[in-house]
Amino acid sequence: MYLECYRLYQAKLREQKLKSWKDFCSSIESTNLWNAVYRYAAGKLRSKPTLSTLKAGNNNYTTDFQSTVNQLMEYFLSEDS
């Protein structure tokens, strides 16, 4: 009787350990803040390039973000007639 209860106990213990591990692994993706710290320390963070200036058609460059956006809008969106 002891061995049967011991086997049942071990089976339940393994089942709960596995369930706990699965819960941990599924929650670590969204809540583990150490991932960002590790990437920063390892130099794996990549900065996203920002568009600062554009060369206009007359060999002049845009000077601020708003004029850059305006140039892009003029280039990609034609006037609807």
Looking at residue 40, its pLDDT comes to: 73
Looking at residue 11, its pLDDT comes to: 94
d(CA 69, CA 77): 11
Looking at residue 7, its pLDDT comes to: 93
pLDDT per residue as tens digits for the range 22-74: 886 776 666 566 776 677 778 776 776 666 777 777 778 888 878 888 878 87
Question: Would residue 79 be called left, alpha or beta, if left means φ above 0 and alpha means ψ between -120 and 50 degrees?
Answer: beta
Looking at residue 56, its pLDDT comes to: 73
Rounded to two decimals, the pTM is 0.36
Measuring CA to CA, how many Å separate 74 from each of 14, 19, 52?
A: 64, 57, 17
Of the candidates 48, 80, 51, 49, the residue with the CA atom closest to the CA atom of residue 67: 51
Higher pLDDT, 15 or 37: 15
CB 68 within 8 A of CB 62: yes
Domain boundaries, given as residue ranges, for the chain: 1-46, 48-81
